[in-house]
Amino acid sequence: MAVPKKRTGHSAQGHRRSNWKATKPETTKCPNCGETVLTHTVCTACGYYKGEPVRLKDKETAAVKEKPAKKSAKKAAPKAEEVKVETKKAEEVEVKAETPAEEVKEEAVAEEKTSEEKAE
């Protein structure tokens, strides 16, 4: 890979970037409402493009369209009832985890009693 021997000077860098400049975006006036609009885009004020109405996402229509999408998101997020069920299951698992330990302790106590009875 080629590696430069020396840094590029400020002047050479400036000459190279002389054509690298920002331009103003082209704007026109909307024929329907007179609002200033970017060229080849729908007017955000009235929703017209080339004299014809175009459907824009309003807050109400966007909310209606997003509801089915939110259902899929809700499937990923558990409902309050499901959370309660999961916590109950978690509690049952904890109880089950405690019971074998208790059973082992009870068995150990029972074995000690039987060994003491045999010794007597």
Residue 107 has pLDDT above 60, yes or no: yes
* Gap between the Cα atoms of 99 and 118, Å rounded: 28
Residue with tokens 């080849």: 40
Q: Domain locations in the chain? A: 25-77, 79-120
Question: Are residues 28 and 37 in contact, defined by beta-carbon separation less than 8 angstroms?
Answer: yes
Comparing 28 with 69, the larger pLDDT belongs to 28
Helix, strand, coil percent values for the chain (each to nearest 5): 55, 10, 40
* Gap between the Cα atoms of 76 and 70, Å rounded: 10
Distance of CA 79 to the CA centre of its chain: 18
41 token code pair = 């885009």
Element (H, E) at 38: strand 36-38
> Which tens digit of pLDDT belongs to each residue from 19-61?
988 999 999 999 989 999 999 999 988 889 988 898 756 655 5
pLDDT, position 75: 55
pLDDT, position 111: 78
36 token code pair = 């200033």
pLDDT, position 57: 63
pLDDT, position 92: 61
15 token code pair = 């000459």
Q: What is the mean pLDDT of residues 74-88?
A: 58
9-23, 75-89, 90-104: range with highest mean pLDDT: 9-23
